[in-house]
Each structure stands twice: as structure tokens, then as C-alpha cells.
Amino acid sequence: MKAVILGKSNSRRITLKNYKPFYGEMSLTDILLEKLVKCLDRKDIFLSCEDAAASAVADKWGIEFIHRDIKYTLIDTNTVDVVRGVCKDIPGDDDILYCSCMDPLFDDYENMLRIWEDVRDTHDSLNVVYPMKKYFLDSNHSPIGFGFGHWHKYSQFIPPVYQISWANEILTRECIDRIGYMVGENPYWYDAYNATVDIDTESDWELAQAIYSYYRDKKCGETSE
């Protein structure tokens, strides 16, 4: 298994989102790497960035740095081209854990990798999703999975809808070559239940920072007792 981190530096909404301090001196990239090195060999982890300065982060963690063509960081580049462009630089024919730094609250890599070993023969990708039992309405304000009045359901009886993460996928090389996308033809949907924030705006950053700090400080406090 190889892992590639999409750690571009030219984030549009949050300047240097992946590299500026998020928790103490740790950046979102540091937080992700801290998790990955616990379950993968460092020589199999790659940081993909268009800015050569990010190689200092790779050196700090003892992983490989790949200089990414800037076109694979731009919003108007087709996603298929990005996936193939990033993954072509990863040596070997191993499956690829394709991950970004945008969800620091996810920390289920060991279990995810273990399950992938069990399902790989019958699936070409593993994709993280969050099952949600909420009172959602469609574009016509009609209830989804419940009804108004006598047809109201308690939330535990609402059939789930799923939020796809896009922060963590496992892809076979065949899936990358044939489809070039983060979801294969026969995906395994991995249900995750952690609190999640997709950091896209400054308010997302502040919310994720508060939640992450709370859980991290709590864990540190329990460890020191």
C-alpha cells in the first residue's frame, strides 16, 4: 500500500491551509502524517505539492516528496486528470490511499486498511461515507425518508442518507487507469461515525480547530492521569 497526500499550497479560500499552524505548531499536513506513519511505512508515504518548499515537511517526517505540476492543483483542471496526474508519480503497482488534509477529525486508518485487505478481491475502491439520519427536505421542501403529521418518524427510524468524505479513498491501480476517479465501478462504502468538518472556509477552519483541540486536549489529559 502506498499513500499520497494532496498537500497543495495554493489553496484559494484559506491561504496555506495545509501548512499553517492548526493545533499548536502542527499543520493539517502534520496531523495527517502523524496518523499515517502509525500504520504505513514512511517510505510508502508521499506528499504531493506544487511548491518545493513543502519538501521540508516531508523531510521532517521522513517521507517522500513529489513535486506536482501546478496544473493538477487548479480548480479548472478536470478531476480525472488530477487523480491520474497525481497517482502517475507514485512508484510501483500497489494500491493507493489517496487522501487530503481537509478532515483532521478522521482517525480510522488502521481499521480502514484492515477492512480493505478483506474486501479488495471484490472491490476496486474504498470510499469513506458518513451515514446521517436527519430531517432533510428535498428541493421541493418534501421530506426525505419521513413524512409530516401522522407520517412523522423519530430520527432513529429514518433511513440514512450518506455524506461522502472525499478526504480518504483507497484505489487500485486498475481503477486509476480505467476510471481515473475517486470512486470505482464497484466501491466498498466505509461507514465512519466521527465528528466531521470539511475545511473549506475560515468558519470551517475555526469549527474544526475547536473540535479537534477539544478531543486532542481531552485525550492528552486522560493519558497523563
Q: Are 25 and 18 within 8 A, CB to CB?
A: no
Residue 55 DSSP SS3: helix
Q: Which helix (H) or strand (E) holds 32?
A: helix 28-36
Query: Cell 480510522 sits at which residue?
Result: 108
CA dihedral angle for residue 110, residue 55, residue 103, residue 182, rounded to 10 degrees: -80
Query: Cell 489517496 sits at which residue?
Result: 98
Query: How confident is the model at residue 222, as a pLDDT?
Result: 65
User: How confident is the model over 126-162, as pLDDT tens digits?
Assistant: 999 999 999 999 999 999 999 999 999 999 999 999 9
Query: Cell 513535486 sits at which residue?
Result: 67
pLDDT greater than 80 at residue 223: no
Mean pLDDT of 93-107: 96
φ and ψ at residue 95, rounded to 5 degrees: -60, 160
Local confidence band at 224 (pLDDT 50, 70, 90 cut-offs): low
What domains are defined for the chain?
Answer: 2-128+161-224 (3.90.550.10)
Long-range CB pairs of 133-140 (<8 Å, 24+ gap) are 133/158, 133/159, 133/160, 134/158, 134/161, 136/161
First vs last C-alpha separation in the chain: 36
Burial 128-154 (b: 16+ CB within 10 A, else e): bbbeebeeeeeeeeeeeebeeeeeeee
Residue 18 DSSP SS3: coil
User: How confident is the model over 31-43, as pLDDT tens digits?
Assistant: 999 999 999 999 9
Residue 137 DSSP SS3: strand
